[in-house]
Structure 1
């Protein structure tokens, strides 16, 4: 798995990345998110229908099949 990096280094080209952020209850979350250039903000789905503007602190690239994160059957 790729190491976390500062959010300031995350791509802002609309691609989805895994981000880490703390919610209002102080709970650390891991979510898929993308940068919206129009809003100048990060957006993540909190459930299958709801998006939320978040302030992530770090990120990591999406895992690929080559990363070895896949479980073998």
Structure 2
């Protein structure tokens, strides 16, 4: 698994990456997400998207540069 990186270094070109974020209950989550419309968005289920404030990121599964 790739090492987490500061969110400031994440690509903002619409690429899908894995982002790490904390929900309102303080639970840390990892979700596939992308930067668009001025923020980071994740799918909470197959139909619902949520804007989140991530703390870090790593390449999405299968995109690991370390292989």
Q: What is the number of equivalent residue pairs in this alignment?
A: 66
Give RMSD over aligned pairs.
Answer: 1.8
Instruction: State the 1:17 CA deviation.
Output: 0.2
Gaps of 5+ in 1: 69-73
In terms of fraction of residues, the more strand-rich structure is 2
After superposition, residues 1-73 of structure 1 pair within 5 angstroms as 1-36=1-36, 39-64=37-62
Structure number, greater radius of gyration:
1
Moved over 2 A (4+): 65-68
- Normalising to structure 1: TM-score of the pair? 0.83
CA offset at residue 63 of structure 1?
Answer: 2.3
